Amino acid sequence: MEEQKNLDKYEAPTLLLKDSNKNELFCYLEQIVDLKGEEYALLTPVDTPVTLFKIGEKDEPVLIDKVEKNEQILKNADAVLQEHDLTLIRSAVTLTVSGELEEPIYDDLEEEDFNDDSDTYELLVNFNVQNEEYGLYVPLDPFFIVGKLQIDGGALLIEDDEFDRVQPLIESEIEKTAK
């Protein structure tokens, strides 16, 4: 019952997404797509998604896409975020940050384009671990996730081969409804 009260405070529909390792991510339900009797959901995280990069002095920052939940990098990131009244959440799909983030002023924004599929990021915080510099960056492009709706009202993350199979079908259905 307490979980339902928490869900009710959001203006848009929300649900809990789980991955194959039982990690969870609280998401807004953006759109439902029906594919041959299966309902898939286009979701966005309620909390702010962040991406971890290793920052070199001369080189372009390097994306760190796999990091264990208990690694020192995340402990240091969490400590720095707490100084700003923010919390790092180790959730399904992505790391997220909970708390009041300041809205960027796009005229003054120092964007960084890392050639990571031409995504653009804004530096949230940087920190050091064993003489190496790291940064948590907020993607400025929308962050969408695909989940398969479950009977319990949640969603299961679509991963790997199933994602590769379903993604073009979902995109096609979205294009049809947009016309």
Q: Which pLDDT belongs to residue 67?
A: 79
**Are 70 and 126 in the same domain?**
yes
User: For residue 146, what are the contacts with CB-CB under 8 A and spacing of at least 6?
Assistant: 40, 41, 42, 43, 157, 158, 163, 166, 167, 170
Q: How far apart are CA 86 and CA 99, in angstroms?
A: 5
Give the predicted TM-score (pTM) of the model.
0.79
**Are 52 and 105 in the same domain?**
yes
**Are 16 and 74 in the same domain?**
no
pLDDT in tens, 41-99: 999 999 999 999 998 777 788 888 887 777 889 999 999 999 999 999 988 889 999 98
**Are 108 and 132 in the same domain?**
yes
Q: Which pLDDT belongs to residue 80?
A: 93
Q: Is a pLDDT exceeding 60 seen at residue 7?
A: no
Q: How far apart are CA 145 and CA 118, in angstroms?
A: 18
**Position 134 confidence tier, pLDDT thresholds 50, 70, 90:** very high
